[in-house]
Structure 1
Amino acid sequence: MGLVIRDVNGLAEKLNRLSHVRFEAVIMKNMAQIYNRGKADGGTPVSTEKTRPGGPHGELRMSLGQSGDTVGYAKDYAPHVEYGHRTVNGGYVEGQRFLQRNVKAQEPIFRQDLIDQLRKL
């Protein structure tokens, strides 16, 4: 499961072309912020019931990891919690869009970080 931060006005491409080191620093900072927001209270759904997505005692939140420029969840049910799923009796559970909200919150920060770094060049 993954979402991408959009490259508004080609700013990421411009910075990467002019200074790959500064571009990588912006990426790493923003991925760390997405990771930290996901680990914070309210950043990832948590259930105390063993039969519900989110797992007992925050298994989904505990499965959040970061490796380089990638942030994601290791639990196989993460996409079902994010995007929604059908139930065994034919019902539907709406997705919680927790990762999408996290990435959307990061987009203006990412854009400003790109602008700040381009101004320094």
Structure 2
Amino acid sequence: MGLEVHGVAELSAALRRLSSVRFDAVCEKNIAQVYERGKSEGGTPVDTGDLKKSLAMVPAGEDSEAGYSMEYAPHVEYGHRTRGGGYVQGQRFLDANVRKQRRIFKKDLVAQIERFG
């Protein structure tokens, strides 16, 4: 289960035209913040701690990624059925983290465009 940044196409295209190095730096910074928020207290649900330990980040410019490698991560995020026929609600921990970061990402893109545009 990972994170991909979509949207803000016009802003990212404008910054990419100005400098792909700056765009890559903004992407890496924001993915690093998603990662750090996930590692912080309350950023990832903890039962055994394995889910939190599985959070990893790959800094690769605009292709940077942060995500969980535990096979059950999507079930904790989105919810799942139980053997008895019940349903466990998803905790939407990654979604909440991404929603917080979205505003910061847009602000960082605008700041870079204004600074170097």
Q: What is the TM-score with the length of structure 1 in the denominator?
A: 0.88
2:3 touches 2:67 (CA, 8 Å); kept in 1? no
> For residues 103 and 57 of structure 2, what CA distance do their matches in structure 1 show?
21
Partner of 2:54: 63
> For residues 87 and 11 of structure 2, what CA distance do their matches in structure 1 show?
40
RMSD across aligned C-alpha pairs, in angstroms? Answer: 1.2
Partner of 1:100: 95
The runs of 4+ residues in structure 1 deviating greater than 6 Å are none
> For residues 27 and 77 of structure 1, what CA distance do their matches in structure 2 show?
27
Matched, 1:18 2:18: yes
Q: What is the TM-score with the length of structure 2 in the denominator?
A: 0.90
Number of aligned residues = 112
Q: Which runs of 5+ in 2 are unaligned?
A: none
Aligned-pair identity in percent equals: 54
Secondary structure of the residue aligned to 1:65 is strand
Matched, 1:109 2:104: yes
Structure 2 counterparts to residues 10-89 of structure 1, below 5 A: 10-47=10-47, 56=48, 58-68=49-59, 69-89=64-84
